[in-house]
Structure 1
Amino acid sequence: MSNIRFTRALVLSQNYHPEPIGSGPYMTELAEHLAAHGMKVDVVTNRPNYPDGHVPHEFRDGRKDLEIQHGVTIRRLKPTLINERGVVGRLIGEGMFLLRGLLALLFVPGRRRTVVVSLCPSIFTVLLGWIAAGRRSAHFAIVHDIQSGLAAGLSFLGDGRLLTWLRRLEAFALNRADVVLVLSEQMQEQLRRIGVTARIEILPIWIDTAKVAPQPVPRSNEIIVMYSGNFGRKQHLGQVIDMAERLQRQGSGIRIVLRGQGGEEQTLLRAVRDRKLSNVSFGPLVPAANLADSMAQADIHIVSQHPDIADFAVPSKIYTIMAAGRPFVAAAPEASLLWQMSEASDAFICVPSGNADALAQAMDRLARDEDARAALARNGRDYVVRLHDRNRVLDGFLDVVESAVEARRNAA
């Protein structure tokens, strides 16, 4: 980083600390990593509201809208929270973030700003990054979700004009970035299909393997299976309820714990009640400081993915589970990234998404085999330490930043 040390970086993300899941923790670590390497970092974000769509009491009055944490100056904006949290409501909220962000940029120091980083799933945030970068700064668009792909896969927009407009907007915004960073080769291919011709690099999800490490597993007479994270449509958690129903019918004795919040929470609670499932319980997300202990409370974790969105998003929780040294079963489309990772890491079992019978069978089989669970756990921990450790991945990001900044200077 010697060439860009002591210059300014601007990070634009609708999500940031203290949000416990989603992209917030990753953007927080990225901004703090830049600051730790000598850059003066400004962040423009929303007041925290994910995943439940409510701003915590201590952030509502705006007293925490300007803070400095770990060398990062954070400017928080009042979010526009639409009661109907479908894709149209989300787009309205994201559009308002763009407008409020433009105003906020007037108060963010711009002199000697070399780097602008924007996060998509919000393509409006990428547009804000392009405007903020102007002609002087290198713009890096990080794509964690491809919005048009998720909208099409979940049938939010159909195949009509709005979906076509969204794809064109994505291509327009991303083609104006110096570098687009995606999570996988599948996402890279999908962006090429919608017309993105900019430089694309793969920046995988990272995990702090020192902070999230294996903990002693509490001894219990029952096997605990846990899902932890957002309760949303793209998680396709209906198949987990179907699995629970089959396991209860079989008298397996497995207990399923669902920890999280999100738009599908009431639907899941209603399904458990209507089916009289005594083997399912719900709980809140735990604070980040207790994450490793929380992971250890489950004998097996579960990752659930909607079959139509595998190429447009990557469930980040898999890296946390592996770092914690826990085995898991993933329900995902065949030939997807998760299936490829299962073969490469030998750390988890994959079954076809939407096949509750296969999911129940895999869970029951793994629950009966303690040695298999231990082997998967060891393999997962080794895999993330080698390939997804936070410092390794973010140092790679710094290399990409430096090369792009140097190329921009040479072209000037």
Structure 2
Amino acid sequence: MASSKTSVLYLSPYFWPEEIGSAPYSRELAQHLSNKGYVVSTLAFRPHYPSVEPFADWMHGARDRETLDAIAIERVPVGPRGSGGFKERIYNDLRYLGRAISHAVRGTYRDAEIIITYVPSVLTLFGAAALKLRNGAPIVAVVHDIESGLAGSLGITSNPMLLKLMRLVERFGLNFANQIIVLTEGMKHELEDIGCKQPIEVLPIWSQVAADIPIDPASPVRVMYSGNFGKKQNLDQLLPLLAFLSNKTPDVKIVMRGAGSERARIEEEVVKRKIGNVRFLDLAPADEFMTSLQSANIHLVPQAQNVANCALPSKLISIMSAGRPYVCIAEPGSPLETLTQESEAGICVQPGDEARLCREVLDLLSNPVQQQQMGQAGRTFVQQNMDRETILDSYISILHRLSGNEPLTSAVTEG
């Protein structure tokens, strides 16, 4: 097994046991590499996203060193998300960078043959560059968010000098990498505009389709939002729709699942607007996630304006895998609209078009046949274009090319 002991250092601030955002995809890739015979070491934050409450066991450091499926995990202390806004997040990222540089100085990971970094945060790339100085390992950057684009579009900062500085930091950081992987063509173009000169490959989010369970016409009709309650989603866009459904179809159950910095405010808005048929729940546990998604007739996928090329809502792929239709809010020409058109798994409405949003959701609720057809179209699209094993093996091909090691033909196979 010539390649089965290739050592990978995994710089992934967001990791298991977090269940939304980039964490589950980071964890699945790490497990895939481990199962294929790679020796994987991970540097991650203590789990805290979207809130610290579910992760009490990790909060005070008792699990700062642990293993998951032979993956050695080291945790970095972190402040809760939302506790200090943008400044707190930068402080956390700098703390993570400091730990990575400390390891570079001490030579902790001098045997690493490949360094994989996840963005956010772009500062992981500076930590990777410091470690590369020690061992010469190639760097693979997996970009899930373009932070300068999100900061400007979401109003996290309006300071033009700060945004310019963020783009400069991103340009330097990304050009440390030997290979960059993004989720969409739009993200690739954004990085090229920033000034990234390194090779960029587009590999979509992956998934495995759930068991094919048709929508039960005898079950209560549900409309669901499931995911993070944050600025990227701009959940205010849903409030007119929720009020409309509450008045027009009071028997329809509206379920809002998840956590995040905006949840309390959105709950207050629902009460203020006297929207009566909305229930707020925590995000379903991982082993119940697909069942939760399949309990709904229609899913809602809002996206804030001007962030289309900076992030892709991964919840959309899970919804398609569950065989359920969706109505999304996204700009014309955005990756979200393109995916909707190509998959025929949902309906895309432009931001601000409240009348059409209400009309499309109401029409889809009244058409069970269309719900089923769109759900099946989503499952088929995922099977054909986002197959988990195919995409994860594409990552392995990239690592093989960069490391020069032999293919893992005789490595451990996944069970």
TM score, norm. by length of structure 2: 0.92
Q: Are the aligned partners of 2:250 and 2:277 in contact in 1 as well (CA < 8 Å)?
A: no
Say if 1:3 and 1:402, in contact at 8 Å, map to a contact too: no
Q: Which amino acid aligns with 2:318?
A: T
Question: For residue 137 of structure 2, what is the aligned residue in structure 1?
Answer: 137
The 1:343/1:55 distance shift into structure 2, 3 A limit, reads closer
From 299, 305, 308, the equivalent of 1:307 is 305
Aligned to 1:410: none
Q: Which residue of 1 aligns with 2:409?
A: none
1:51-70 matches, cutoff 5 A: 51-54=50-53, 56-70=55-69
8 Å CA contact 2:103, 2:109 repeated in 1:
no
Structure 1 equivalent of residue 73 of structure 2: 74
How far has the Cα of 1:85 moved from its partner?
A: 4.3
Identical residues among aligned pairs (%): 33
Which residue of structure 1 aligns with residue 182 of structure 2?
Answer: 182
Counterpart amino acid of 2:352?
G
The amino acid that maps onto 2:286 is: A
**Structure 1: which amino acid aligns with 2:312?**
V
Residue aligning to 1:207 = 207
Alignment partners' CA distance in 2, 1:330 and 1:84: 29
Separation in 2, partners of 1:81, 1:265: 15
The Cα of 1:331 is off from its aligned counterpart by 0.9
* SS of structure 2 residue aligned to 1:191: helix
Distance 2:287 2:375 in 1: 21
> 2: distance between equivalents of 1:103 and 1:217?
53
> After alignment, is 146-155 or 158-167 more displaced?
158-167
Work out whether residues 214 and 296 of structure 1, in 8 Å CA contact, stay in contact via their aligned partners in 2. no
Q: What letter corresponds to residue 380 of structure 1 in structure 2?
A: G
Distance in 2 (alpha carbons) for counterparts of 1:221 and 1:131: 56
| Structure-1 separation of matches of 2:75 and 2:213 | 35
Aligned counterpart, 1:152: 152
Q: What are the superposed Cα offsets for residues 305-329 of structure 1, whole Å, 9 maximum, x if unpaired? A: 0121111000001111111111111
Question: Which residue is 2:411 aligned to?
Answer: none
C-alpha distance in structure 2 between counterparts of 1:166 and 1:95, whole Å: 14
Local SS of the residue matching 1:256: strand
* Offset from partner CA, 1:328-363 (integer Å, 9 cap, x none): 111111111111111111111111123222211111
Q: After superposition, what is the alpha-carbon deviation per residue over 1:30-76, rounded to whole angstroms, capped at 9, x for unaligned?
A: 11111111111000001111111447221123221111211211111
CA-to-partner distance for each residue in 1:209-228, whole Å, 9 max, x for gaps?
Answer: 3xx33335455464211000
TM-fit CA distance, 1:3: 6.7
- Does the Cα contact within 8 Å between 1:80 and 1:97 map onto a contact in 2? no
Per-residue deviation, 1:107: 7.6
- Find the counterpart in structure 1 of residue 412 from structure 2: none
Q: Residues 186 and 311 of structure 1 are in contact (CA less than 8 Å); yes or no, is this contact kept in structure 2?
A: yes
Q: How far 1:136 sits from its partner (Å)?
A: 1.7
Deviations along 1:142-170, whole A, 9 cap, x unmatched?
Answer: 10000000001112221521111100000
Q: Counterpart in 2 of 1:101?
A: 100
Provide the aligned length of Structure 1 versus Structure 2: 404
Offset from partner CA, 1:360-400 (integer Å, 9 cap, x none): 11110100111111110111001111111211111011111
Aligned positions of 1:21-36 closer than 5 A: 21-36=20-35
Distance 2:105 2:322 in 1: 43
Letter in 1 for 2:112: R
The answer to whether structure 1 residue 334 and structure 2 residue 332 are counterparts is yes
The Cα of 1:133 is off from its aligned counterpart by 2.5
CA distance in 1, matches of 2:383, 2:286: 19
1:380 equivalent among 378, 381, 384: 378
Once the two structures are superposed, residues 10-38 of structure 1 have per-residue CA deviations (whole angstroms, 9 ceiling, x without a partner) of 11111111111111111111111111111
CA distance in 2, matches of 1:247, 1:82: 32
- Counterpart for residue 347 of structure 1: 345
282-291 vs 128-137, which moves further:
128-137
For 1:10 and 1:354, how far apart are their aligned partners in 2? Answer: 44
SS of the residue corresponding to residue 379 of structure 1 reads helix
Could you tell me whether the CA contact under 8 Å between 1:7 and 1:112 is conserved in 2? no
Corresponding residue SS for 1:165: helix
Task: Report SS of the residue matched to 2:40.
Answer: strand
Does the aligned pair in 1 maintain the 2:331–2:351 contact within 8 Å?
yes
- Counterpart of 1:269? 267
Q: Do the aligned partners of 1:214 and 1:323 also contact (CA within 8 Å) in 2? A: no
C-alpha RMSD of the superposition = 1.9
Determine the structure 1 residue equivalent to 2:396: 398
Compute the displacement of 1:117 (Å).
0.5
Tell me, yes or no, if the aligned pair for 1:226 and 1:257 is still in contact at 8 Å. yes
1:13, 1:333 → 2: CA distance? 30
TM-aligned CA deviation for residue 106 of structure 1: 6.7
Q: So what's the TM-score if we normalise by structure 1?
A: 0.93
* CA–CA distance in structure 1, aligned partners of residues 139 and 401 of structure 2: 12
Correspondence 1:31-50 to 2 at 5 A: 31-50=30-49
Shift of 1:82: 6.3
Give the 3-state SS of the residue equivalent to 2:172 in structure 1: helix
Compared CA separation, residues 106 and 68, structure 1 to 2 (3 A):
farther
Query: How many Å apart are 1:234 and its aligned residue?
Result: 0.8
Deviation of 1:99 after TM superposition, in Å, equals 1.1
Distance 2:376 2:39 in 1: 39
Equivalent pair of 1:214/1:326 in contact (CA under 8 Å): no
Unaligned residue ranges in structure 2 (runs of 5+): 406-415
User: Of the two structures, which has the highest relative contact order with CA contacts closer than 8 Å and spacing of 6 or more?
Assistant: 2
Relative distance call for 1:326 and 1:85 in structure 2 (3 A) is: farther
Question: Does the CA-based 8 Å contact 1:239-1:355 persist in structure 2?
Answer: no
1:194 Cα deviation (Å)? Answer: 1.0
Amino acid at match of 2:184: S
Residue aligned with 2:404, SS:
helix
Q: Matched residues in 1 for 2:76 and 2:309: separation? A: 31
1:279 aligns with: 277
